[in-house]
Chain A
């Protein structure tokens, strides 16, 4: 590991010297430092800023502090009651130990597990811009089918972020230029020709909280994840959904897909195709197809198109 200096952050105003990065739970960053993929000069510890509370928002909804640990968030009774998809997504990720360490903001900002990104000796446009992308012709079974670019086919690995994307969550950000709020669906970027940038955050900007707006249909929501082993593995594909059905007709729906793109994939087209339609397996499959029509699978991951279509069908049937 490259050497670094360590300090604790004094306040939430953000701001970082060049070469510095924020440290929270460390479950991904410390690992990437060991691998030589992350090489910060300075670590600024943000775990003592008091951002570890879950509070009620005045108009309904919840404010989740950026430093709330994944296990505490998954166990929160308000989350389990009003936003079960979020609790389920958190519990589908990582292990008990890691969830005790990992934070809300850290979960959002974790890096891809693409094997070429994780290997500092390999070319990768994400860790060494301009060096090329071996994944496109190489091992890409678990990489993107939507929104990829010639320079990067990585997927975002978070389960939690997929649920947050379905729930219209908003990310509160503090930085040298002041505060701003970004929908979680716009926090992560598509790779384009700058895959080294995962998110729209500027250097020195700090996530302070994630707001969950009140959303009645979220009380009827679920997360389903497919992976290569029964537990403790990243998703091969996942679906977060909330559904409201009246008299057999879809009144409202939220859908997001995981492990298919460089960002949690909010399925707006599928939602549009479903509103006002009969709540039947045929409608659910057709809605999934409307979203997946844009898929551009690689040589070895076309199975994800079928996988997501089937997942959408089974999750929505379970909720209807």
Chain B
């Protein structure tokens, strides 16, 4: 099947069981998206599918057609610089997922999508809630929050 990843079209032959995460890592050599839990519970595998953040470990690649996938290798966004500036990581394993998730989340917030917190502005509480699908075992959250806040222009 054909897959468009980071603007490049790839032709791959896959077992129907292959998740998008495994297709990216094992067949296309794009190892930025990480396999943490492989059950949709940690967010390390987050990529953008037609601009929306998703868990690539729970998507069967065979279900994708005419979709554009963006992985961390294809992301060029101010939130990356802000993560460096604020030291928003320790070991770095969750970082590609955090960045992709933040890019998707900032777009959702800009569209006016609500969250469970219900603040009108993208407060720190909003950022924490909206990013709760991405776990960081090192606990680098306190530095990620200002990085994302500044990337949002606040």
Which residues 121-153 of B sit at the A interface, judged by CB distance below 8 A? 128-134
Contacts of A230 in B (CB 8 A): 129, 132
Report the bound CA distance from A94 to B133 in whole Å. Answer: 8
Contacts of A43 in B (CB 8 A): 16, 60
**Known: A30-B58, A96-B133, A100-B53. Is A3-B39 also a contact (CB below 8 A)?**
no
> Are B39's CB and A96's CB within 8 A?
no
Per-position binary interface string of chain A over residues 185-207, scored 1 when its CB falls under 8 Å from any chain B CB and 0 otherwise:
00000000000000000000000
Per-position binary interface string of chain A over residues 1-36, scored 1 when its CB falls under 8 Å from any chain B CB and 0 otherwise:
101111000000000000000010011001100100
Report the bound CA distance from A88 to B118 in whole Å. Answer: 9
Contacts of B60 in A (CB 8 A): 6, 23, 26, 30, 43
Q: Is B105 on the interface with A (CB-CB < 8 A)?
A: yes
> Are B55's CB and A97's CB within 8 A?
yes
> Are A6's CB and B58's CB within 8 A?
no
Report the bound CA distance from A178 to B111 in whole Å. Answer: 39
Contacts of B101 in A (CB 8 A): 96-97
> Are B116's CB and A91's CB within 8 A?
yes
Contacts of B16 in A (CB 8 A): 3-6, 43
A164 to chain B, nearest CB (A): 18
Q: Within the complex, which residue of B40, B52, B111 is in contact with A27, where a contact is CB–CB below 8 Å?
A: B40
Contacts of A101 in B (CB 8 A): 54-55, 58-59
Q: With contacts defined as CB atoms under 8 Å apart, how many contacts are there between chain A and chain B in the complex?
A: 93
> Are B113's CB and A31's CB within 8 A?
no
B100 to chain A, nearest CB (A): 9
Report the bound CA distance from A96 to B52 in whole Å. Answer: 9
Contacts of B129 in A (CB 8 A): 230-231
Contacts of A3 in B (CB 8 A): 15-17
> Are A87's CB and B104's CB within 8 A?
no
> Are A231's CB and B111's CB within 8 A?
no
Contacts of B131 in A (CB 8 A): 96
Contacts of B32 in A (CB 8 A): none
> Are B133's CB and A26's CB within 8 A?
no
Q: Is B6 on the interface with A (CB-CB < 8 A)?
A: no
Which residues 28-52 of A sit at the B interface, judged by CB distance below 8 A? 30-31, 34, 43, 45, 47
Contacts of B68 in A (CB 8 A): none
Q: Is B115 on the interface with A (CB-CB < 8 A)?
A: yes
Contacts of A91 in B (CB 8 A): 114-116
Q: Is A80 on the interface with B (CB-CB < 8 A)?
A: yes
Report the bound CA distance from A87 to B134 in whole Å. Answer: 22
Please list the residues of chain A having a beta carbon within 8 angstroms of any beta carbon in chain B.
Answer: 1, 3-6, 23, 26-27, 30-31, 34, 43, 45, 47, 71, 74-75, 80, 87-88, 91-92, 94-98, 100-101, 230-232
